[in-house]
Amino acid sequence: MHIIDLSHALDAQVPACPGHPIFACTSVETIALDGSGSAVSALHLGSHTGTHIDAPSHFLHDAKSVDELDLSMLVGPAVVVDVSHKQARQSIDVFDLDEVLDSLDAPSESEPTPPRILLIHTGWSRHWLDYATYSTHPHLTPAAAEAIVHAGIRVVGVDTFSPDPMGPAAPIVTSSTIDSTSAPEPEPESHTTPDPHPVHHILLGAGCVIAENLTNLDQLLRADHDSDSNDHVNSDLPRPNASKWMVSLAPLKIAGCDGAPIRAFAWRA
């Protein structure tokens, strides 16, 4: 079975969000020269270090912690959306996701259970070791988060620090539809919300789980394209990328915790 690893390695270079613990793995016992004894290390990390998931209790009182999550939610078919054309701090809006979310609408005979895991490929994982650039990742708009919830998605995975923008210099700009029949009006330039984490609140508030700092999502798309080119006869299957991959995003079972590292990986359905 061909496995695609979707996790970053945990090492001393792992970037951490401001205020989060720095990762360290230090030796506390070693194997002696004569082969006796064993190697044991102490781990120091945050619950949101490296590739990990956010449980609803990350942002909400009395919400599910990571050990209370249903594992069946975190292992299953996934759909991948390619938004790698997005620039730094650019928003990912509803129209960027429409095609993929629409494909989830109706269960079919071949796919009675549409994917409930959405992976968003921005390509930003290539900046993983460059904190300044990595933290300028594209982000979802609140409207896109609402559309994701409405489409029945239960898990959203991103190859960035967060589905929300990082830092103070990232006002959330929502796209607006311009009505060409009406006279142009002075439009508000942007809509800035006082909540710095609106996407987290929408997704986690709806009982969804967020996977962050994924990597190698491009490999899922590339393999899809390769497969599509061999499969051109099957033109009655318009679903983009749907249900071709299974993923596992299972976390460490840390009692009462708001998040946990995951070893994320994908394999062919």
Strands (E), 134-263: 139-140, 155-158, 209-212, 245-248, 259-261
Q: Which is nearer to Zn ion, 164 or 212 (CB)?
A: 212
Backbone φ and ψ of 258, nearest 5°: -80, -10
Residues 183-202 that bind Zn ion (CB under 5 A): none
Contacting Zn ion (CB under 5 A), which of 4, 6, 14, 48? Answer: 48
Taking residues 239 to 268 in sequence order and writing x for each that binds Zn ion by CB under 5 A, - otherwise, the string is: --------------------x---------
To the nearest whole angstrom, how small is the minimum distance from the Cβ of residue 66 to Zn ion?
10
To the nearest whole angstrom, how small is the minimum distance from the Cβ of residue 143 to Zn ion?
22
Q: Are 227 and 241 in contact (CB under 8 A)?
A: no
Task: Reduce the DSSP state of residue 8 to 3 states and report it.
Answer: coil
To the nearest whole angstrom, how small is the minimum distance from the Cβ of residue 119 to Zn ion?
16
Q: What is the dihedral of CA 155, 158, 162, 166, to 10 degrees?
A: -150
Q: Which is nearer to Zn ion, 93 or 212 (CB)?
A: 212
Give the amino acid at 135.
S
Q: Which is nearer to Zn ion, 103 or 122 (CB)?
A: 122
Contacting Zn ion (CB under 5 A), which of 6, 8, 10, 54? Answer: 54
To the nearest whole angstrom, how small is the minimum distance from the Cβ of residue 3 to Zn ion?
24
Location of structure tokens 């394209």: 225
Q: Which is nearer to Zn ion, 76 or 259 (CB)?
A: 259
At 127, list the tokens. 């900046």
Task: Single out the segment in contact with Zn ion by CB under 5 A; choices: 40-48, 75-83, 129-137, 191-199.
Answer: 40-48
- Exposure string (b/e) for 238-264, b if CB count within 10 Å is 16 or more? ebbbbbbbbbbbbbeeeeebbbbbbeb
Residue 96, interface with Zn ion (CB under 5 A)? no
To the nearest whole angstrom, how small is the minimum distance from the Cβ of residue 163 to Zn ion?
10
Q: Give kind and range of the element (H or E) at residue 28.
A: strand 24-29
In whole angstroms, give the CA distance from residue 152 to residue 104.
Answer: 8
By the criterion CB under 5 A, which residues form the site for Zn ion?
A: 48, 54, 212, 259
